Amino acid sequence: MKIKLETGKFYPCYPVYVFSYYAENGKELITTMSSSFTLGNLLVLGVGKSSKFATILQRNPDFCINFLSRTYLRQIELAGTILNRNYSDKTELVGFHFDKSKASNAPYIKEASLIWECRMKNCDQNGDVGFLTVTAEILGRLCDSNLFKNNEFQYNQLDIPLFEADSRQKVYRFMTDEARPAGLYYKDFIARKKSM
């Protein structure tokens, strides 16, 4: 039996990231987000039209996506609840440190374990919906050196808070070590087919 799920939104665990970019005066600005997907080097984001980033995106298309571990949840949450328009010192209040990306004209957060250096390609206003759809290219990726060993990314060391929410509740859920190689079921299917 299925029942109707009444909710205005349903987010079944999206990785939480902090967006970083330069304001018109060159100052580092940040905002926390979770709506995104990637395919290869294509990145698509849902950005609230009232956010500071939405207002300057057309002038400076470069930004970085910063993934931080749960150690920084306080800063991550503050970056997503304190608004730039109410607190012009939001960046200082949150307290991250920055370096400049070489691939993109944007700052990245030094405390981040994984960084995507990006450039906007297209921005869709979506009519009167409150969110822009931003399509961007990932120009480069940076990661902490301890996340890359023996020429392999150490996925089991990666710790990115996940945002789970609906109209009733919001929680941060966390990644676990549990993993299963992809492709085994298909290989098994093919093997069974051949032996028939």
Ligand X SMILES: Cc1cc2nc3c(=O)[nH]c(=O)nc-3n(C[C@H](O)[C@H](O)[C@H](O)COP(=O)(O)O)c2cc1C
Which residues here bind ligand X, judged by CB under 6 A? 16, 31-35, 46-48, 51-53, 77, 80-81, 83-85, 163
Could you give the angle at the alpha carbon of 33 between the alpha carbons of 71 and 140, nearest 5°?
Answer: 85
Nearer to ligand X, 33 or 120 (CB): 33
Residue 182 structure tokens: 């992809």
Query: Cα–Cα distance between 80 and 47 in angstroms, integer?
Result: 12
Nearer to ligand X, 33 or 136 (CB): 33
Query: In this structure, which amino acid lies at residue 74?
Result: R
Query: Cα–Cα distance between 58 and 68 in angstroms, integer?
Result: 27
Question: Taking a C-beta distance cutoff of 8 angstroms, is the pair 118, 42 a contact?
Answer: no
Could you give the angle at the alpha carbon of 111 between the alpha carbons of 27 and 84, nearest 5°?
Answer: 35
Q: How far is the CB of 27 from ligand X (least distance, A)?
A: 12
Three-state secondary structure call for residue 124: strand
Nearer to ligand X, 52 or 61 (CB): 52
- In sequence order, the 6+-apart residues with CB closer than 8 A to the CB of 37 are 43, 44
Q: Phi and psi (nearest 5°) for 193? A: -60, -45
Query: In this structure, which amino acid lies at residue 192?
Result: R
Question: Taking a C-beta distance cutoff of 8 angstroms, is the pair 57, 22 a contact?
Answer: no
Nearer to ligand X, 94 or 142 (CB): 94
Nearer to ligand X, 143 or 162 (CB): 162
Q: How far is the CB of 11 from ligand X (least distance, A)?
A: 9
Q: How far is the CB of 15 from ligand X (least distance, A)?
A: 10
Q: How far is the CB of 45 from ligand X (least distance, A)?
A: 7
Nearer to ligand X, 77 or 159 (CB): 77
Q: How far is the CB of 57 from ligand X (least distance, A)?
A: 11
Q: How far is the CB of 100 from ligand X (least distance, A)?
A: 20
The residue of the chain with the least Cβ separation from ligand X equals 80
